[in-house]
Amino acid sequence: MPWSISHIRNIVQGEFWKCKSLSKDYGRVKVPVYLIEGWADWYATAELRAFQKLEGGGVPRKVLIGPWGHYYPDAAFPGPRVNGCELYLRWFDYWLKGIENGVMSEPAVTVFVRHWKDPALMYVEDAGEWRNEDAWPPKRAERVELYLGNDGQLSDKSGEGAASFAHRASAGMTTGRRSGLGSTTPWGMPLDQRGDEEFGPVWTGEPLEKAMEVMGECEVVLQVSSTAKVAYFHVKLCDVSPEGVSRLITDGGLLGTHRGGHERPEAMVPGEVYELKFPLKHIAYRVEAGHRLRVMVAGADFQNAWPTGERGVHTVYFEGSRVVVPMVVAGSQTLAPPVLGESSKALPRESEMGRPGYRLVRDLVNETVTCELEPLSGAKSTWRVSDRDPAVAVIEGTARCTGVHGGKEVSVTAKSRTSSDASSYTHESRVEITVNGEKYFEKTWRETVPRGWS
CATH of the domain at 103: 3.40.50.1820
In this structure, the answer to whether residues 229 and 296 fall within a common structural domain is yes
31 secondary structure, DSSP code: S
| Pairwise CA distance, residues 8 & 418, whole Å | 9
Using alpha carbons, select from 143, 120, 115 the residue that is nearest to residue 130: 115
- The reply to whether 181 and 93 lie within a common domain is no
Q: CATH code at 234?
A: 2.60.120.260
Query: Is there a single domain that holds both residue 226 and residue 372?
Result: no
Residue 166 sits in the same domain as residue 253: yes
Closest C-alpha among 204, 202, 146, 167 to residue 321: 146
Distance from C-alpha of 350 to C-alpha of 401, rounded to nearest angstrom: 27
Question: Using CA of residue 232, residue 233, residue 237, residue 238, what is the dihedral sign?
Answer: positive
Domain boundary among 347, 377, 396: 347
The domain in which residue 424 lies consists of: 357-450
- Does residue 176 share a domain with residue 303? yes
Question: DSSP assignment, residue 364?
Answer: T
Is 352 inside any structural domain?
A: no
| CB 115 within 8 Å of CB 186 | no
Question: Based on the domain organization, do 257 and 323 belong to the same domain?
Answer: yes
- The angle formed by the CA atoms of residues 306, 197 and 315, to the nearest 5 degrees, is 70
- Distance of alpha carbon 141 from alpha carbon 162, whole angstroms: 31
Task: Based on the fold, state whether residues 148 and 106 are members of the same structural domain.
Answer: no
- 399: in domain: yes
Per-residue pLDDT of the chain (454 residues; tens, 9 = 90+): 889 999 999 999 999 998 889 888 898 999 999 999 999 998 999 999 999 999 877 899 999 999 998 889 999 989 999 999 999 999 999 999 999 999 999 999 999 999 999 999 889 999 999 999 999 999 999 999 999 998 899 999 998 999 999 999 999 999 987 655 445 667 888 999 999 999 999 999 999 999 999 999 999 999 999 999 999 999 999 999 999 999 999 999 999 999 999 999 999 999 999 999 999 999 999 999 999 999 999 999 998 999 999 999 999 999 999 999 999 999 999 999 999 999 999 999 988 888 888 999 999 999 999 999 888 877 899 999 999 999 999 999 999 999 999 999 999 999 999 999 999 999 999 999 999 999 999 999 999 999 988 8
Q: What sign does the dihedral 30-36-38-42 (CA atoms) show? A: negative
What SS3 class is residue 92?
Answer: helix
Query: Which residue from 50, 42, 62 is spatially nearest to 133, judged by alpha carbons?
Result: 62
Identify whether residues 276 and 158 lie together within a single domain: yes
In a domain, 13, yes or no: no
The three-class DSSP label of residue 410 is strand
Residue 10 resides in a domain: no
Number of residues in the chain: 454
Q: For residue 174, is it within any domain? A: yes
Question: Does residue 36 lie within any of the structural domains?
Answer: yes
Distance between CA atoms of residues 454 and 441, nearest Å:
36
CA distance 296 to 59: 39
Judged on CB neighbours under 10 Å (0-12, 13-18, 19+), 219 is middle
Same domain, 169 and 310: yes
Q: Do residue 257 and residue 162 come from a single domain?
A: yes
Q: Is residue 172 located within the same domain as residue 128?
A: no
How many domains does the chain contain in total?
Answer: 3
On whether both 61 and 167 belong to a single domain, the answer is no
d(CA 282, CA 44): 7
Residue 4 resides in a domain: no
- Rounded to whole angstroms, the Cα distance separating 444 from 452 reads 25
Contact 51, 61 (CB under 8 A): yes
177: Cβ–Cβ under 8 A, 6 or more apart, which residues? 183, 184, 188, 189, 303, 304
